[in-house]
Amino acid sequence: MTDRYRSFVNSAIGRQIAPRLGLPQPPVLQRHRVGDPVVDGPVLVGAAPGGRLAGAIARTLAAVGAETWTTEAGDLRQTAADAGLAPKIYADGAAGDQRFKALVLDATGIADVDALGELHAFFHPVARRLQGCGRIIVLGTTPELLDGSARIAQRALEGFTRSTGKEIKRGVTSQLVYVAPDAEDRIASTLRFLLSPRSAFVSGQVVRIMPSDRDPELNWSEPLKGKVALVTGASRGIGEAIAQTLARDGAHVVGLDIAPLADELAAVTGRIGGSAITLDVTDDDAGAVLAERLKADHGGVDVVVHNAGITRDKTLGNMKREVWDQVLAVNLRAPEAITRALLDAGTINRDGRIVGVASIAGIAGNFGQTNYATSKAGVIGLVDALAADVAARDITINAVAPGFIETQMTAKVPLGIREAGRRLSSLGQGGLPVDVAETIAWYASPASAGVNGNVVRVCGQSLLGA
Ligand SMILES: NC(=O)c1ccc[n+]([C@@H]2O[C@H](COP(=O)([O-])OP(=O)(O)OC[C@H]3O[C@@H](n4cnc5c(N)ncnc54)[C@H](O)[C@@H]3O)[C@@H](O)[C@H]2O)c1
């Protein structure tokens, strides 16, 4: 569905009129196209004294061929040089009108309140020097793994990144990545995702990275080559985009949808060289059927995406029990039952990935959606409940929580609420199905072995539940 308002304010005449009338000006977001570089402009890297991630950041920037700048000529420059970079030095005012595509700070060295001044010292001089659709990334240490002043100071980082996401417009996003001790070598897939236009509609998020001893061979252009991915609800909307994106990344996609949508499903899987299963995920034997089919046809499955979902909105006083039950059955009971069945049968291969599709309604609650919000909060509970267990099998489980995404589901929302859903976010617009799909592709990558137990909102930093 087109966002006519956004198209208008980005037209020649709209660009003149909108600022005069004080109207919001949602930018056209830059999105990834096959063959694009990870980051298409200069990246400024800084580090608070005592940090432990500069080397890992530098290795990732070197691997993606980024034009890298640092703020000082000391240790950081040497670390970058060791990674094969020849960073340029940026001193405030000395580099004229130099602008940056991304600002990355290793904040792991911040161990008390006074050291939080490092945030100001690094970002203040360059806050106005970010290009459109630029990136702010702060990397810290998981506060729950620290004590005392360091724990307080690391927790404080979240207020900074969430605020810069709201403050700096023009499609700029801002994120915080908490890296556990000994997980330094696990940041590459997350850093690439957050730097790139693949994360166009993700902002104000906190990602947690854990250590992992899995060291799969990485093929960054086709990370899912040789993998099998099950996507439920794949015949349209977000599910179709997930199927296409995982196939682009090399996976053989097994699309699933209900029998009445068999033709649409076959069209999607046909286009991407995948296969199709028509099945209702709420069937009592759905998990057993899938375990048997995936084992027989593909020897197992590597990526399971529980995307199928429904809404049946009513205020609680008007909601019949059967409507409550339908939504809970599709959105929550089925993902839990299917996940358990596939795990019990050993159908999910080592290095497997399980992904739930929650919603910001499951975080913030929503009028007329007690059933839907309960089911989607439950998807987050599923991630919490299983993360430690699946990690013991070298499998990860994470969820996305989409905000307002332009699909058939949201096209049915009344115009006023639809406009509010689009504009009440830092990026001032709805997302596209591909934005959810790219986030799932990041979780699915073999390089994301340390990304477990996360719930990342794909919502343009919606004010709902912020
Ligand atoms: N569109 C949004 O803004 C938005 C926001 C937050 C979360 N989500 C979630 O994203 C997911 C996809 O949403 P969408 O907007 O693409 O919706 P959609 O209605 O366009 O697609 C959902 C798909 O799930 C399938 N499905 C429904 N019940 C099923 C069942 N019992 N068995 C098998 N398949 C079934 C449908 O046939 C359909 O193909 C859902 O889980 C939804 O709750 C969407």
Summarised one tens digit per residue, pLDDT across range 258-271 is 999 999 999 999 99
- pLDDT of the residue at 73: 60
Inform me whether the pLDDT recorded for 106 exceeds 70: yes
Q: Beta-strand (E) ranges in 360-426?
A: 396-402
The 10s digit of each residue's pLDDT in 345-359 is 999 999 999 999 999
| Domain spans, the chain | 31-209, 228-458
Cα–Cα distance measured from residue 86 to residue 76, given in angstroms and rounded to the nearest whole number: 11
In this prediction, residue 72 has a pLDDT band, given cuts at 50, 70 and 90, of confident
Distance from the Cα of residue 64 to its chain's centroid:
20
pLDDT classification of 62: cutoffs 50, 70, 90:
very high
3-state helix, strand, coil in the chain (%, to 5): 45, 20, 40
User: Can you name the CATH fold of 31-209?
Assistant: Rossmann fold (3.40.50)
Q: What is the pLDDT of residue 21?
A: 62
Q: Which of 257, 338, 424 to mutate to test the pocket of ligand 1 (most atoms within 8 A of CB)?
A: 257
Average pLDDT over residues 318-333: 98
The residues lining ligand 1, judged by C-beta closer than 6 Å to any ligand atom, are 232-233, 235-239, 257-258, 261, 280-282, 307-310, 330, 357, 359, 402, 404-405, 407-410
Token duo for residue 352: 């497997």
Mean of the pLDDT values across residues 322-343? 98
Pick the range with the lowest mean pLDDT from 116-125, 264-273, 407-416: 407-416
* Span of 76-80, 208-212, 245-249, 333-337 with lowest mean pLDDT: 76-80
Mind listing the pLDDT tens digit for each residue in 144-175?
999 999 999 999 999 999 999 999 989 999 99
Strands 100-106 and 348-357: unpaired
Tell how far the Cα of 233 is from the centroid of ligand 1, in angstroms: 6
What are residue 68's DSSP bridge partners? Answer: 43
Whole-angstrom CA distances from 438 to 238, 424, 458 are 11, 23, 10
The pLDDT value given to residue 354: 99
Examine the pLDDT at 388 and tell me if it is beyond 80: yes
Centre of ligand 1 to C-alpha 442, Å, is 20
- 19 — pLDDT class (breaks 50, 70, 90): low
Q: Pick the catalytic residue: 5, 90, 178, 372? A: 372
First to last CA, the chain: 25
Closest atom of ligand 1 relative to the 405 alpha carbon: 3
**Catalytic site includes residue 372:** yes
Task: For residue 361, give the ligand 1 atom closest to its CA.
Answer: 6
Å from CA of 330 to ligand 1 middle = 9
Q: Atom of ligand 1 at shortest distance to CA of 240?
A: 16
Contact criterion met (CB below 8 Å) for 54 and 104: no
Give every strand in the sheet of 396-402, ordered side by side: 275-278, 252-257, 228-232, 301-306, 348-357, 396-402, 455-458
**Mind listing the pLDDT tens digit for each residue in 182-194?**
999 999 999 999 9
**Residue 411: what pLDDT?**
85
Question: 276-280, 327-331, 413-417: which range is least confident on average?
Answer: 413-417
Q: How far is the CA of 231 from the centre of ligand 1 (A)?
A: 11
Q: Do domains 31-209 and 228-458 have the same CATH topology?
A: yes
Residue 131 is predicted with a pLDDT of 97
Superfamily of domain covering 228-458? NAD(P)-binding Rossmann-like Domain (3.40.50.720)
pTM: 0.96
